Amino acid sequence: MPPHPVTSPTLPCAAVTPDCACPFRLDHELALITGGGSGIGLAMARCFAGAGARVVLAGRREDRLREAAAGIGSRAGYVAHDVTRLPEAPALVEKVKRQFGPITILVNNAGIHLKKPAVDTTEEEFLHVLTTHVLGAHALSRAVAPAMMQRGGGSLLFIASMASLFGIPQVVAYSAAKSAYVGMVRALATELSPHGIRVNALAPGWIETDMSRRAFENDPGRRRKILSRTPMGRLGTPAEVGFAAVFLCAPAAAFITGVVLPVDGGASIGF
């Protein structure tokens, strides 16, 4: 992955300071993004590359990862990995280090969704959602943290959800998992920030993705309800989540840790 320019969203340099010519750049960073082959994960990868970082996409489907990395260009690589295989997290981190270099940014984005009434959600289904989101993110965070501590810096970013901020029906397991993210972020921030590692989360609102489009096709009333309670009156774009991710991992956010930043068009404060 030679550091050549690629066609991807480019962030403007909005400020110049004596010790950081462009605080919104991610030059010299290497970001591992789980669930990076599609949707919000892929959009974040494109934005990170546009800000100067090299990115490594992780996911279960190698064909999709290969295509996604090729679309980003020379700043992108990929590794096949299933986050639910918890004992394999250290091996993944070591593999990325050998092939691409040390990980300086970890984006815990991989996850699954389960829409089902709480009374019909089985223990096995609940546990699978928790394992994918919570235990998978913890395993990778634990695997990358020691090297970041040794270097004296790094960034962990968790992709939470509106479901971690207020109640949404028929997603009890997903809500529990994303709410656990918020607790993990705060706890990890208190432990790791003294070592120069910042830990933050994004809470995307309703974003225009293939998944959301399929959901709205069968439930037009839901789209109307969502837009009616979103002050900006529209769905977000994956790139808008990506730009917020770049900010939280960039020098511009150097004094920000332990926060959960909604990217939701105001849905979390709307009525």
* 111 close to 181: Cβ distance less than 8 angstroms: no
Predicted confidence (pLDDT) per residue in 214-266, tens digit: 777 778 888 898 899 999 999 999 999 999 999 999 999 999 999 999 999 99
Question: How do residues 81-122 score in pLDDT, each as one tens digit?
Answer: 999 999 999 999 999 999 999 999 999 999 999 999 999 999
Which residue type does 70 have? A
Q: Which amino acid is at 5?
A: P
pLDDT value at residue 22: 87
pLDDT above 90: residue 271: no
Domain count, the chain: 1
Specify if 122 maps to a domain. yes
Would residue 243 count as lying in a domain?
yes
Looking at residue 20, what is its pLDDT? 56
Taking the C-alpha atoms of 20, 22, 28 and 29 in order, what is their torsion angle to the nearest 10 degrees?
100
pLDDT at residue 14 greater than cutoff 90: no
Is residue 5 assigned to a domain? no
Q: Which CATH number belongs to the domain containing residue 52 in this structure?
A: 3.40.50.720
Largest CA distance in the chain: 58
- Which of the 8 DSSP states describes residue 99? H
- Say if residues 96 and 79 touch (Cβ distance below 8 Å): yes
Q: pLDDT at residue 17 above 60?
A: no
Question: Is residue 237 situated within a structural domain?
Answer: yes
Rounded to an integer, the average pLDDT of 142-168 is: 96
Cβ contact 201:259 at 8 Å? yes
Does the residue 6 lie in any domain?
no
Across the chain, the runs of DSSP E, i.e. the strands, are: 30-34, 54-59, 76-80, 105-108, 154-159, 197-204, 260-263
Quote the CA–CA distance of 102 and 149 in Å, as a whole number: 12
- Specify the pTM: 0.91
Residue 13 lies in a domain: no
Assign 3-state DSSP to the chain and report helix, strand, coil percentages, each to 5: 45, 15, 35
Indicate which residues carry an active-site annotation. Answer: 174
Q: What is the span of the domain harbouring residue 40?
A: 30-263
pLDDT digits (tens, 9 = 90+) for 39-74: 999 999 999 999 999 999 999 999 999 999 999 999
Confidence check: pLDDT of 186 > 50: yes
Report pLDDT for 216: 78
